[in-house]
Structure 1
């Protein structure tokens, strides 16, 4: 509730400055976390294997990361990456529809409170491994995106407002980020 309230206040400031806000309840019909995880772990594995193809330094890898590599190698199929690409295409088609209604999409950057250290973020007070669920769909679609500080939680943690644009809409995203920074005028030095 706190993250949403801070982001809604930012939207209110945009409306007061003359921006028309169109509310979209759900952008996608499901959370593509597994597909994103498959693709991102595969990309990381490719990078690591490129540097250490014989796995001679495998023991130096963070245990969480090596565990994800093992998960991928046990669960991925020859068609897994293609299935992820198919989903990314479907998500892109949905975004094309959305960007016919509105030129830009604004969402909270993350679904809950920013974590401290290496913990997961909190969503409704509970640790949630998908606390970044508002970011990875746009990594899958390769949509231009950025974030601006919309304020701070009561405990001093930053709250981001994510700006997502249509394919090749990088300039639109950058302009909106600059407009948000000017409109919100948030002092980005933590108040605590």
Structure 2
């Protein structure tokens, strides 16, 4: 039996329009669902059900008059804690930051409010968004709904957990090295990192994107009409688009698709992950695509250069804090960032230059193929209490080798479920398209979801 919390955005809009379900009634169903799940998974920060009820009531009145504000009017949405909302602090996932209220909405929040979405909470992230983990010195430990002893991944940890648990149809994360796709893979949801600039962000940073995290491809695609409206605060923001984001049909036959099973460095792939991704690639081959094995785009030199650059960058952000506040940072992150204290300006620039090499490598590959398939994550899962899959600050990025190159090359990429391990944990397939090929990635993702039927056995609270 379909629960109210399982409805898609399209289904909800139809019900709001024909008055068989109001935004207020739907929100109360979501609220009860959150009450049942949240003590276990701790996905939310700044959760305000009373304010959500107020927003839902206003939306109900607009729908009753036949005058919704926009495409997402009445749809409950969460935002990753790093995305500023006016009047609320942005702790950056760390106890070290002083809690000062934001003076304005970040672009994503502004677009959602313009369309009448019900923003009911922020979602958790680790310190400074620099872990693929639900571990934070500020937030409670976020856990994976499929198995609460396991990690949801990160840094969009709470967003992935909330989506998998059914806290409404739409959650927005951010991604600088895989932070939308990695947790999406580990929690079985769909995560979409669009082309750089497609969804404006503020503050902007090299490789940083925002993206929807949903249970269905269609819900992510639906949200893009709202999220992709430009904003002057992001200097990379793309011009207004007339894209039909719901045109998800595609002819697979004749496409040339690369299958990347070697990331070039980092953690080796679990056999179950490899088997699931190979099986997914065979589906594309059976549909008429030409699937070819492709070499990795990442090298150890590139990954280590990025590590040096990111350490120096974060150390620059925290070096001005008092010793007392620095000691409040998650020890794993502080130990890692302190390695940036002795990085020279020359070495930091050399590290940054490796992001350009990643971009060159990715661009070269896409002169030969139309899209890439790969694992999202190299491993099936890891303990909830760990800071990363290695749990070693000397080896912080061994798990991002399939995802991070596409941030630096500014190309769109998604993670979609392609199976489950023997332990019952989800396995993610990454689909990568050429720069500005956002629709191609969404179309390929939707086609794959149609073939598999998508995830139907979402975790339940009993």
User: The TM-score by the shorter chain falls in which range?
Assistant: 0.7 to 0.9
Helix, strand or coil at the partner of 2:416: strand
- Residue 85 of structure 1, CA deviation: 3.0
Residue-by-residue CA offset, 1:64-116 (whole Å, 9 max, x unaligned): 11111211113x11023322332222222222221111111111011222212
Which runs of no fewer than 5 residues in structure 2 stay unpaired? 1-270
CA distance in 1, matches of 2:436, 2:287: 26
CA distance in 1, matches of 2:432, 2:316: 28
1:77 paired residue number: 344
2:26 paired residue number: none
Change (3 A) 1:141 1:17: same
1:166 to 419, 429, 434: 434
Higher helix residue share: 1
1:141 to 409, 431, 438: 409
Helix, strand or coil at the partner of 1:159: strand
2:361 to 94, 114, 133: 94
2:453 paired residue number: 185
Change (3 A) 1:54 1:121: closer
Residue-by-residue CA offset, 1:121-148 (whole Å, 9 max, x unaligned): 38xxxx9961332122333333322211
CA distance in 2, matches of 1:73, 1:58: 13
Tell whether the 8 Å contact from 2:389 to 2:399 is kept in structure 1 after alignment: yes
CA distance in 1, matches of 2:456, 2:315: 35
CA distance in 1, matches of 2:362, 2:310: 21
Normalised by the size of structure 2, how large is the TM-score? 0.36
Moved more, 91-100 or 39-48: 39-48
CA distance in 2, matches of 1:55, 1:28: 37
CA distance in 1, matches of 2:310, 2:370: 28
CA distance in 2, matches of 1:36, 1:97: 20
Change (3 A) 1:66 1:147: same
Change (3 A) 1:90 1:53: same
- Residue 186 of structure 1, CA deviation: 3.4
Tell whether the 8 Å contact from 2:274 to 2:375 is kept in structure 1 after alignment: yes
CA distance in 1, matches of 2:456, 2:312: 35
Tell whether the 8 Å contact from 2:432 to 2:441 is kept in structure 1 after alignment: yes
Change (3 A) 1:63 1:152: same
1:26 paired residue number: 296
Tell whether the 8 Å contact from 2:433 to 2:440 is kept in structure 1 after alignment: yes
- Residue 62 of structure 1, CA deviation: 0.6
Greater C-alpha Rg:
2
Which protein, 1 or 2, shows the higher relative CO under an 8 Å CA cutoff with sep ≥ 6?
1
Moved more, 167-176 or 23-32: 23-32
1:39 to 309, 318, 321: 309
Change (3 A) 1:46 1:189: farther
2:284 to 14, 17, 28: 14
Residue-by-residue CA offset, 1:135-191 (whole Å, 9 max, x unaligned): 223333333222111111111111111112222332322222222222232326468
2:389 paired residue number: 121
- Residue 3 of structure 1, CA deviation: 0.8
CA distance in 2, matches of 1:37, 1:128: 8
